[in-house]
Structure 1
């Protein structure tokens, strides 16, 4: 355009025309309208946004320092030396809380470098990180590019919880809550507190929560001992604990570890030499070795651990008022420290010997238990057990016992039974079956000085489940002759002023309340016998006579004080029957329900402990996560018998092993040892309870379902093997049982229990009857023997010699005489003083 005067005037006229002015007014109106509407929309959008945010914040929980503290932690069980033997957790508690001071700086810096490099400078929200994450999200068409600070991750893990976010609105809502709470948390908590809680909360794969548990899992070491390379491995897991698992995906974790180390170098947390050294570390080979070793460890609780858990649950309920749920929750997620009494060395010995098949009879068999839920054609549902199986077996002539020669026979019979059920038109909708090796075993080993249970074996063969049948603590079995010591001879010596030299006649005898005869385990009778001999040779008749004199009620009271909880005073059944253990058969272990191994061991431990009873304990204390002692299990000694009684019983039970029924339990060392055998009359149960000056142990062997068998003295041999190895492993010095100062010796006649007469008692036709016996001071007999009588016989007339009979014609003979009040028929009748020598004297001289 040429800017001449003419052209300019022409353009001015055009611009000032009515048409142009009209179009300009319309354009200005439209612009104002659009601008105003835009402002209104922006303001409305801001209002809605503010309202939306306010609505979210109203549903956001209040935050405190405690609210972000992890609630579930691993409970650790320690042995009596303070070594970890077991950790307990549930799905949300596999963590061990560790203070930041015990977490190496390299590990702290590794997480900060890869997860939140401006952690120490931001106020809970990293704006630069958010902008960067948003940009990457737009570029990659994804809103999952991160940007969360460590503070936000802590809130997500411990306060808001990890929940699925299906829509963009849900993800936006979660981010707003996280950022709001992050700002609040940073106002009330220090960076140190936030980092400590975060490192104890994060999921690091393989079911581990927190850096301490992960360190033990992957490297088998405490977190404080981690190297820089190992720190980088753990920090690399967090982004994706499954895909970056260093055991299952070492290559992926290695790439992430390289990035962690590079970030640490770039952010000046490490030097180049540290960086190069960490890169050279063959860390994944170590991880694989640790993983291989951990798979060989059993996850199922041991019998000791099962019993320990139950005892802690019981005490939490009775002493602290916990209910069942709270007690178990405390154990499996409360981060408790349970200090057990288990001696790991002794437990390993017990497990090794009792699990070795070579230590058992060759004719090992299998018992079968089973349960079926069956739906009949009519729709009715019933449960069948092994009792139904046994009925089927008997009906179809497949056998009369649920004990099979081997597991294959058991499975074959079970399969036939299942076909039988199905052939009747029924459907099996659920089933469980368990073949169990037989005979079974139980063992308890205690430190008698304080009641600590050092080892438990609740059965042999593989243990496949927690809190299963524990034959040492929950199974009750008839104790047999082990009860003679506790029920008959203990109260006899302790209260009835009897002695080891007290004599009873081992002769035919019936129980007082019936015509039922008492039988010995051996054939025939041994005649006049001392209590020491009755203990050594396990004489049933002498024990029955002794408890009769003691009275069953006195015996029952002693047994109750000795901690037996399964005895029955009077029990009335629904059909009107009355059961009681206050009977004469108590002497031989004939009980309504039987006893547990652990309670029997504790009773014998009281004898070994000089008459002081300690209730068996499986832990010394339970400490909570903050170091407070919740439960304390200090020994509570209680005197049950005199120390002299304990010594006398111990000395007699030394003879049981030296020359009596327990010879198979003799030790290979000169260590002092005492004990008592026990076998039920039907050969269902075999026991040996004994002790050294250090440990008391009881072993039981039998079939779970009461089957007659011959143990071949296996239980005694096992007991000796275990005690021998304990003595050797623990380097225990040989010593004898301590003798109280009020124990004295005296020579007595073993046929009468009274002071021996020299020249008479030592001339018994069966041998010398003079023995040296221990007595409590004040109980030594004052009367001389009245069982033996010496007579002079005239050779010529075979009658009693008189004063006129020449000395050369006299013969001296010793006989026994019948005791006044003796029960039953004297066994040694051929040695009784003949009637012809009782009154008729020589008539020739």
Structure 2
């Protein structure tokens, strides 16, 4: 018995020992696991991102652009739109709506909600063990959500079930609660959270859904915005559908927000009932959310700011773009809102063409300061990010046609003193192998001054003047005017003389270039903004006028004067005239009438207008004078309140009367030309005035043959048939008809014979007195012709008329520039 009892005691003792060992083992295992878990958790915490409170509170914000009067004109449209508001401007109802639905113990917890967290951890572990693939259960407080948005957003999207991220969120939330107030946390949260569409933050959401500020939201509207935080994409989709179908949105989630607000005594029963009864409707803006108000101006301005940020701060394009997208800077542009709006309306107006795809663009700029006032990149454009036909250097460039001539032909000729405004060439076919273009009317005018060559936009003359200065000189000046010329252009007479550029150009470049003629020969770099300021008021960038010397002031002014020819009644752009304001400019038409241009200036602005199609079709029903007319309408509006004035002529320029047919000093014979208008007053840079007499005009004894044409009189010509007439000389026989051929000295000689009775002598058709002519600066000298001069540089009335033989003098038609 005793043995049996002793045995049972020993057995119980052994069992008790085993139990103790088991408990101890379990405790050891639990402790080991706890230590291991603690170590893992500690490791997770140690690898958590560092917390910079200043950066944490610095929210992304939209960049805004302001016009030249400092008024808001545009926002930099990106995929995220955020407008930060201080919590003092946020209605209490909206604050409580978020707290009631997202984190009702927000005011009391230290950053995490222990009760919600325990349940969430249990479910999360279950999801991990079972591998069900479900999303982790939400127990995040507002603080934790803010940490996720500000620090772990990308990771939370890529790995939604990351325990490591959850641990780090908890740790950082506890740290944030130690240094920030609840108001700071809530304000940052409400300005950060994504709420559907492209709205980030409550103000952007309020404007997106209800087209109003948060300050004026109703209780139900506040509840809807708070409800969108849980599933913003669904909320946006349902709201959009409700707006499009014009029906009220019955939102269960919104009702849940209101219910919680009433449950937690944030609103009264009356407020709850009123809000539940309110119909929830939306007021989306009709404006395309992805389109800027002034895209054609704002996007080039942003590009210019980006490039300048890169240069000044030596940062990459990505970094500069990021500053503009997220740092909420203010860009003060040079755009004049009234001019931009009016110009767009004029560009959009119907055109006299049957083509439905006609496009147009224009730029107006103050060439004195470089400030660009108007950029219109297209007509009737509604699609965001469309072609900017006015201002991009690499996306839409077109051949400028004859509008290039003042830049690469005529101003280089004047500035290098290779020619003057009175230099004469012969408008006639260019011999092979030279480049021989056609004129627009397929006619040849004969002798033309440089001035008239520009006025008539004569193509042959332009090529001959380009040959005179050399194509390299034309290229050099074109580049100084701001043209981007490639290797094809640099070796092409068609490009440099006639504007058939391979590389092309745009209205911004052309408007900038023509400003040189009114700005004493200086080209001022176009500025699309004056300064860029960050959200703290610090000036990041500012601009000042930057001028580059292109022409001498005298050359620039003479070109300014020459450019009144193309807008005269005889010119190709007469429709550009819009008032008493002085207008200067030049038309341009590219090959096959694919591009129509007018580029010009007034004493205030330079402007360029282009008309064409995106596919470079031939333009039907319009010509470059129609472009000039549109230019005139645009500039008339731009000058509405501006007094009439003119560009001042600099010193170093003199005027002198010259012959239209030789460019030299006129004589009695010049004035006696039967056309009657061969003497005019021309401007010259001092020292370049002609010093030789006009020897193109000659007087000859002639008679009419049986066909009625003049022939030179001979010894056989009856004296009563002889007339003395004034002609112009030509030392060769052109291979095409020239319009002044009827006035050229004949070469045929009268060979008639017979006996005749002598009539009375015919008085020669030469003025009996010497007309008054502006004297040259220096005493002129004979240039080797048959005419002699007296001390005043005028034709000696006693000079004999010599046509004993029919041959002519061989004087050149280009004056010598001294």
1:407 alignment counterpart: none
CA distance in 2, matches of 1:115, 1:234: 12
CA distance in 2, matches of 1:794, 1:706: 56
1:88 alignment counterpart: 77
Aligned residues: 714
CA distance in 2, matches of 1:752, 1:226: 81
2:197 alignment counterpart: 206
2:443 alignment counterpart: 524
Mark the runs of 5 or more structure 2 residues left unpaired by the alignment: 125-133, 243-248, 705-710, 714-719, 750-799, 805-818
1:537, CA displacement in angstroms?
Answer: 1.0
- Return closer, same or farther for 1:548/1:150 CA change in 2, 3 Å cut-off: same
Q: Which moved more, 1:116-125 or 1:51-60?
A: 116-125
2:414 alignment counterpart: 493
1:390 alignment counterpart: none
CA distance in 2, matches of 1:337, 1:255: 40
1:185, CA displacement in angstroms?
Answer: 2.1
Aligned partner of 1:156 among 143, 148, 171: 148
CA distance in 2, matches of 1:526, 1:816: 16
CA distance in 2, matches of 1:527, 1:839: 25
Confirm or deny that 1:750 pairs with 2:660. Answer: yes
1:658, CA displacement in angstroms?
Answer: 2.9
1:55, CA displacement in angstroms?
Answer: 1.1
Helix, strand or coil at the partner of 1:613 = strand
2:401 alignment counterpart: 480
1:533, CA displacement in angstroms?
Answer: 1.8
Mark the runs of 5 or more structure 1 residues left unpaired by the alignment: 1-16, 365-436, 572-578, 801-808
- Return closer, same or farther for 1:322/1:770 CA change in 2, 3 Å cut-off: same
Aligned partner of 1:293 among 280, 286, 295: 286
Helix, strand or coil at the partner of 1:658 = coil
Helix, strand or coil at the partner of 1:676 = strand
Contact kept? 1:749, 1:755, Cα under 8 Å:
yes
CA distance in 2, matches of 1:47, 1:293: 64
- Return closer, same or farther for 1:812/1:735 CA change in 2, 3 Å cut-off: farther
1:55 alignment counterpart: 40
Aligned partner of 1:818 among 725, 729, 732: 729
Helix, strand or coil at the partner of 1:208 = coil
Confirm or deny that 1:764 pairs with 2:676. Answer: no
Confirm or deny that 1:504 pairs with 2:424. Answer: yes
CA distance in 1, matches of 2:135, 2:382: 50
Contact kept? 1:73, 1:89, Cα under 8 Å:
no
Confirm or deny that 1:687 pairs with 2:676. Answer: no
Aligned partner of 2:567 among 654, 657, 672: 657
What's the TM-score once normalised by structure 1's chain length? 0.70
1:426 alignment counterpart: none
Aligned ranges 1:586-601 → 2 under 5 Å: 586-601=496-511
CA distance in 1, matches of 2:664, 2:702: 26
Aligned partner of 2:111 among 104, 124, 138: 124
CA distance in 1, matches of 2:589, 2:159: 70
Question: RMSD of the TM alignment (CA)?
Answer: 5.0
- Return closer, same or farther for 1:276/1:180 CA change in 2, 3 Å cut-off: closer
- Return closer, same or farther for 1:673/1:561 CA change in 2, 3 Å cut-off: same
Confirm or deny that 1:216 pairs with 2:137. Answer: no
Contact kept? 1:506, 1:827, Cα under 8 Å:
no
1:674, CA displacement in angstroms?
Answer: 2.0
CA deviation profile, 1:127-164 (whole Å, cap 9, x unmatched): 57668999999xxxx99885533222211222233648
1:346, CA displacement in angstroms?
Answer: 4.0
Aligned ranges 1:36-115 → 2 under 5 Å: 41=26, 44-45=29-30, 48-60=33-45, 61-66=48-53, 68=56, 74-80=62-68, 81-90=70-79, 93-98=80-85, 107-108=94-95, 110-112=97-99, 114-115=101-102
What's the TM-score once normalised by structure 2's chain length? 0.72
CA distance in 2, matches of 1:88, 1:135: 43
- Return closer, same or farther for 1:822/1:735 CA change in 2, 3 Å cut-off: farther
Contact kept? 2:576, 2:631, Cα under 8 Å:
no
1:676, CA displacement in angstroms?
Answer: 0.7
Confirm or deny that 1:636 pairs with 2:546. Answer: yes
CA distance in 2, matches of 1:586, 1:559: 8
CA distance in 1, matches of 2:279, 2:545: 48
Contact kept? 1:503, 1:528, Cα under 8 Å:
no
1:552 alignment counterpart: 471
Aligned partner of 2:743 among 805, 824, 831: 831
Contact kept? 2:449, 2:663, Cα under 8 Å:
yes
Helix, strand or coil at the partner of 1:635 = coil
Confirm or deny that 1:724 pairs with 2:645. Answer: no
CA deviation profile, 1:724-781 (whole Å, cap 9, x unmatched): 2564377342524322243665544434444556x76544311233434445566555
Confirm or deny that 1:735 pairs with 2:644. Answer: yes
Helix, strand or coil at the partner of 1:450 = coil
Aligned ranges 1:129-144 → 2 under 5 Å: none
Aligned partner of 1:611 among 521, 529, 532: 521
2:172 alignment counterpart: 181
Aligned ranges 1:308-707 → 2 under 5 Å: 308=301, 310-312=303-305, 314-315=307-308, 317=310, 320-323=313-316, 325-333=318-326, 335-355=328-348, 358-359=350-351, 361-364=353-356, 437=357, 440-458=359-377, 466=385, 473=392, 474=394, 475-496=396-417, 498-500=419-421, 502-510=422-430, 514-568=433-487, 580-581=490-491, 583=493, 586-622=496-532, 629-663=539-573, 665-702=575-612
CA distance in 2, matches of 1:633, 1:293: 35
